[in-house]
Amino acid sequence: MALSASADLDAAADIMLEALDPSSGTPMMQVRRRGLEFVRDAAARWGDTPSLRAIRDMVASVNSPDAQHE
């Protein structure tokens, strides 16, 4: 959703935030990795936006030692 010609950053960011939502448990490592890839790829296209900062912060919080339950 972030790389196609008709990409919708808001829709893609919403999906990523849902996947990383800590209320649904600790996201799998693959989800966290994809979150970082998403932020990198979307920032290259749209720059540093508030929604990308929110995703980056959420990935950082689920990657923190306190959040590790795997």
Tokens of 52: 């990308």
In a domain? residue 23 = no
Q: Which pLDDT score, from 0 to 100, does residue 66 have?
A: 59
In a domain, 45, yes or no: yes
Kindly state whether residue 41 falls inside one of the protein's structural domains: yes
The backbone region for 64, taken as left when phi is positive above 0, alpha when psi lies in -120 to 50, beta otherwise, is beta
Q: In this structure, is residue 42 part of a structural domain?
A: yes
* Average confidence (pLDDT) over 27-44: 88
Total of domains in the chain:
1
Q: Would you call 49 exposed, middle or buried from its count of C-beta atoms within 10 A (0-12, 13-18, 19+)?
A: middle
In a domain, 4, yes or no: no
40 found inside a domain: yes
Range of the domain at 56: 9-17+28-63
Q: Is residue 70 part of a domain?
A: no
Q: Which pTM value belongs to this model?
A: 0.74
- Whether 2 is in a domain gets the answer no
